[in-house]
Structures are given as structure tokens and as C-alpha cells.
Chain A
Amino acid sequence: MNSDMNKQQDAVRIQEADFSIEAEVDALRATSKRIGGITTFLGCARDFSEGRDVFSINFEQYAGMATRAMLSLRDEALEKFEIIDLRIVHRVTTVHAGDKIVLIVVGAEHRGPAFEACEWIIDSLKQRVPIWKKEVTPDGDSWVTEHP
């Protein structure tokens, strides 16, 4: 396995474990001294959804296809926007209110493309990456079907 592939797989990960925002930002900063702006999107678990309490959220993925879809998003974003590098980390496990779920970190020379790419990546991830979530509520379990 060459170093480019290792770098790519480290930059795009699906994992059960929590992640460090600072570690991911530092890893991105270390890729290039030309980076002048870094944007982040952090998705967190809410304790309320659709008018009811949410105790926890269980995530499920189509292993293999989900990682490939995220790698594809990374490649497309690097082509589409004037950005230097990016990282995507998504947890697939059971999370509770306040827990971190997904992190996108984008580095660019200037802030504009970094903001645009970050929004495009999270919007595209919700539509194209085979991950699902089930909310555990006082009324029972409920699969989330929309991606607002």
C-alpha cells in the first residue's frame, strides 16, 4: 500500500470511537503550509427530534460502500473547489445527546472555498453515503428517513 493511499484512508474514516476535533484540524494543517483558512462542520446528537425526546441514536452503515462513497466525495470536492485538503470522520455506533457524530475539516488558501466545500460535503454525504440512523425515543425506535 503506497503512502498516498494510507494518507487518503486516514483522511476519510468511519469508526465507532470518538474523535478529537483538534487532532483532525492539526492533521489537516500539517498537510500544507499554504493553508490560510480552515472550516469545520461538526454534527452532534440532539436530545429532541420530531417533537419528542431522543434517548440515543444507533447508526448503521453498508461497510465498504460507505467508505468508498466518502472517498469519492473527498476526490470530487478536491476537484470542484479551490481547496487544498480535507478530512471526513463519521462515527457508526450508538451515540447519546451531545455526542459527536460527524466531522468535516476543509483547508484552503482563502475562507470562501473552504466554507463552500464544507457545506457541499455535508449535504452530499447525507444523500450519497449509505449510513442510516435509528432514534430511540420514549415512543419506541424510529428510523430517520429525511436528511434536512
Chain B
Amino acid sequence: MIKILFFGSIAAKIGRREMMIDRCGLTLADVVKEAGLETFKPLLVAVNQQQEHDLNILIQDGDEVAMMPPFAGG
């Protein structure tokens, strides 16, 4: 299972904070598409709490993927 987390304006836009995907062999780009965010810009993505820029990496069973709008702390 892949756990997807949504934050900030993205969570508000899609009306949920998390979802699970039970599929193997997905790239990060596939996961973004499964989440329905392939046209959301700018989109920041983290895999297991590390920001990831390469959408071609393979996502593993048990990974946690975060979909994040640009940060706005401070």
C-alpha cells in the first residue's frame, strides 16, 4: 500500500487529507496522476518525508508520498 498525504490548499481543493493506493510498479508521476494532481502547479512532492524532484523514481510498497503546495511558514 502507498499512503498519499495532502496538505494546505491541496487538501482543501480535493476535500481529503489522505488516500491509499494498492498497486505496484508506480512511478512518482503515476502517483501524482492517481491523486488527480497532474495539472496542479506549483506542486511540491515528498517521498518518506524527503522532498523529491525526480518524478521518474519508482514508489515502493509502504512508501508515504506527500502532495504539497509551496511552503508559507514564518
A contact residues vs B (CB 8 Å cutoff) = 43, 59-62, 64-66, 68, 90, 101-102, 122, 125-134, 141, 143-147
Is B35's beta carbon under 8 Å from chain A? no
User: Nearest residue in B to A141 (C-beta to C-beta)?
Assistant: B12
Residues of A near B74 (CB, < 8 A) are 43, 90, 101-102, 122, 125-126, 131, 147
- The number of chain B residues with a CB under 8 A from chain A is 17
CB <8 Å contact, A130 and B71: yes
CB <8 Å contact, A65 and B46: yes
Residues of A near B12 (CB, < 8 A) are 134, 141, 143
Residues of A near B49 (CB, < 8 A) are 62, 64-65, 68
User: Nearest residue in A to B70 (C-beta to C-beta)?
Assistant: A145
CB <8 Å contact, B46 and A132: no
A60 in complex: contacting residue of B8, B44, B46, B50, CB < 8 Å: B8
Given contacts A60-B8, A143-B9, A145-B9, contact A131 B46 (CB under 8 A): no
Most buried by B among A65, A66, A128, A134: A65
C-alpha spacing A128/B44, complex, angstroms: 11
Is B7's beta carbon under 8 Å from chain A? yes
C-alpha spacing A65/B44, complex, angstroms: 13
Is B25's beta carbon under 8 Å from chain A? no
Chain B 53-74 against A: per-residue CB contact (8 Å), 1 yes, 0 no? 0000000000000101111111
Q: How far is the CB of A114 from chain B (nearest CB, A)?
A: 19
User: Nearest residue in A to B9 (C-beta to C-beta)?
Assistant: A143
Residues of B near A101 (CB, < 8 A) are 74
Residues of A near B69 (CB, < 8 A) are 132, 143, 145
Given contacts A62-B46, A68-B49, contact A133 B73 (CB under 8 A): yes
